[in-house]
Amino acid sequence: MSTLKLSWGTRIALLYGSFVVLIVILVAGSMRQSFDLVTPDYYSQEIKYQQVIDADKNLSQLSSKAKMDVTANDVVISFPAEFGGKTLNGTVQFYSPIKTAWDKKMNLAVTNNTMTVPRQQLQPTTYTVKLSWVADGKNYYQETDINLH
């Protein structure tokens, strides 16, 4: 009965060799990985993001933010008092991180400083409401999370 004895030099060579094989396997696996962007025009949207930052600063100068009230039948968006009687142009987007098909984007339709969205148009999930509007030549932007469960 003979036992195979490896010297310390052989053991170190095997350790380094197995490390190299492991690195080659990891590199080959990572080269097959697909990295999709959230949107196809991600970079152009990133450049335009400064406008969102400026709109958010304009929002912070108001007396309050737009308020989202969830009732049994509707989602009611109430705008700050500064906008009473003014024409508001913009969009409201209900973004669902769960499923893209559940996203809803609509133009603002403000009456008496509020907008009402029927819940039957939305899914019972958590939405990020992205509210963007223009009033008196100033842009405003607000994101609010709501739960419709």
Domain boundaries, the chain: 42-147
Name which of 131, 118, 124, 126 is nearest 96 in CA terms: 126
In sequence order, what are the residues at sequence separation of 6 or more whose Cβ sits closer than 8 angstroms to the Cβ of residue 123? 96, 99, 102, 148
According to the model, what pLDDT value does residue 1 have? Answer: 57
pTM: 0.69
pLDDT of residue 34: 67
* Per-residue pLDDT at 32: 87
Which class for 29: exposed (0-12), middle (13-18), buried (19 or more C-beta within 10 A)? exposed
Angstrom distance (rounded) from CA 13 to CA 117: 69
Tens digit of each residue's pLDDT, the chain (149 residues)? 567 788 999 999 999 999 999 999 999 999 887 665 556 677 777 778 888 899 999 999 999 999 999 999 999 999 999 998 888 999 999 988 888 888 899 999 999 999 999 999 999 999 999 999 999 899 999 999 999 98
* CATH number for the segment(s) 42-147: 2.60.40.10
Q: What is the pLDDT at residue 22?
A: 97
Phi-psi region of 143 (alpha: psi -120 to 50; beta: other; left: phi over 0): beta
